[in-house]
């Protein structure tokens, strides 16, 4: 499938934006080769947030009319020039900033587009489509952390309410999660595509990057890495799609072709972990034979052993995981759990409290602390942790899943 060469926002040129949690924005980016059937739709479909209900400013009416005419005639440079003049005349005209920013995005002027859309958001702070569009601008300007925050907020405000928009935004969300090292979150996001049957070569590369824990975008994968990453993505996609038999075959072929590939066995083990921890444990141990310093494999090995009540076997893996990733809350948590189960309550509390500092709303950590405090005779502290656990499960705070 041919990719898109430039980022373009397709808009209804007769519409104006509205602060509306149900609105959508149709977008496409050079990174989005997610679904071949979307290409024609994006070249012909025009969907835009509805009008704000605010009339055009009294001053510069002729200027605005000429800008709208240029826009209707698809004379984008002229429309940008005229809308730029219009918002100088009246900088409090939100629709003008929206038209300007969306047209600049269409031409690939991502920094000016980001700034113009930001002015619009200042006046309509809950406009999900605009927030999502700013996130896409930030993606192009390599402001990855900001881009992820805006895209996720835009989604929460309704920017992904139509299927084609959801695919575009979810894809960028997963790309950004991978680029920022949130590999587990990226795989969960990519499961949306596998479950809906959307696939193409670039998507498989993107999934492979998340699975192999490589903080890259598909465009940055070298030719020598492409076959490995694509094969890993294909195997993971099959598993996420629910075709475990086919996935098993694909993973075995992956291991045959790339016997020393780092994180290949870890990926398969991670996917197996929820339903078959024994098979997952075998994969994690195989990963550690290939890459003994893999802290992620140590971490998951410790968890798998704890689930089997093999706590003394789990402890050294937990210690290695915490030594390798001391700022990872889950590593501190698994070490605290292992120490508690082997009788070292003081050591357990030290690491559990460290885990809590790193992720204050992690339900698993609060549960482990409640148990450790109770075993230590600190009943009041244990009671406090139980109350916090109840609050977390009632949704008054955000619980973070353990691995």
Per-residue pLDDT band at 35 (split at 50, 70, 90): very low
> For the chain, what percent of residues have pLDDT higher than 70?
83
Note the pLDDT of residue 253: 98
pLDDT(88) > 80: yes
The DSSP output letter for 53 is S
Find how far residue 137's CA is from the centre of its chain.
Answer: 16
* 185-226 pLDDT, tens digit each: 999 999 999 999 999 999 999 999 999 999 999 999 999 999
Q: Is the fold of 1-180 the same as that of 313-403? A: yes
The domain segmentation of the chain, as residue ranges, is 1-180, 181-292, 313-403
Vertex 341: Cα angle to 338 and 343 (nearest 5): 110
CATH of 313-403, one of 1.25.40.10, 1.10.730.10, 1.10.8.640, 3.40.50.300: 1.25.40.10
Note the pLDDT of residue 29: 41
Nearest to 25 by CA among 39, 8, 4, 9: 9
Note the pLDDT of residue 61: 75
pLDDT(121) > 60: yes
Per-residue pLDDT band at 59 (split at 50, 70, 90): low
In CATH terms, the superfamily for domain 1-180 is Tetratricopeptide repeat domain (1.25.40.10)
Note the pLDDT of residue 15: 40
Per-residue pLDDT band at 299 (split at 50, 70, 90): very high
């Amino acid at each position: 499938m041919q990719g898109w060469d430039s980022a373009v926002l397709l808009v209804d040129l007769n519409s104006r934006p509205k602060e509306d949690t149900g609105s959508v924005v149709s977008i496409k980016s050079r990174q989005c080769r997610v679904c071949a059937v979307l290409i024609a739709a994006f070249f012909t479909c025009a969907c835009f947030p509805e009008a704000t209900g605010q009339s055009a400013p009294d001053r510069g009416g002729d200027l605005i009319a000429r800008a709208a005419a240029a826009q209707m005639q698809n004379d984008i440079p002229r429309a940008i020039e005229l809308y730029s003049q219009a918002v100088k005349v009246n900088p409090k005209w939100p629709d003008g900033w929206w038209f300007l920013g969306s047209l600049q995005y269409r031409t690939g002027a991502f920094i000016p587009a980001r700034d113009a859309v930001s002015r619009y958001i200042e006046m309509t702070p809950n406009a999900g489509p605009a927030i999502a569009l700013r996130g896409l601008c930030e993606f192009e300007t390599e402001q990855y952390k900001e881009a992820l925050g805006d895209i996720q907020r835009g989604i929460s405000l309704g920017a992904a309410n139509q299927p084609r928009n959801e695919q575009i935004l979810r894809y960028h969300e997963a790309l950004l999660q991978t680029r920022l090292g949130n590999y587990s979150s990226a795989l969960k996001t990519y499961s949306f595509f596998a479950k809906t049957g959307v696939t193409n070569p670039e998507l498989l590369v993107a999934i492979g990057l998340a699975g192999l824990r490589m903080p890259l975008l598909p465009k940055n994968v070298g030719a020598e890495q492409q076959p490995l990453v694509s094969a890993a993505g294909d195997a993971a996609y099959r598993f996420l799609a629910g075709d475990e038999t086919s996935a098993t075959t694909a993973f075995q072929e992956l291991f045959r072709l790339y016997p020393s590939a780092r994180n290949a066995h870890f990926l398969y083990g991670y996917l197996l972990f929820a339903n078959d921890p024994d098979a997952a444990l075998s994969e994690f141990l195989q990963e550690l034979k290939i890459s003994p310093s893999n802290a992620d494999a140590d971490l998951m090995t410790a968890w798998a052993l704890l689930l089997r009540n093999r706590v003394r076997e789990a402890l050294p893996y937990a210690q290695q995981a915490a030594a390798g990733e001391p700022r990872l809350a889950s590593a501190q948590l698994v070490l605290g759990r292992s120490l508690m189960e082997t009788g070292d309550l003081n050591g357990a509390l030290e690491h559990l409290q460290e885990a809590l500092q790193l992720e204050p709303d992690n339900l698993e950590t609060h549960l482990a602390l409640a148990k450790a405090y109770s075993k230590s005779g600190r009943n009041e502290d244990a009671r406090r942790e139980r109350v916090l656990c109840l609050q977390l499960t009632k949704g008054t705070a955000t619980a973070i899943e353990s691995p």
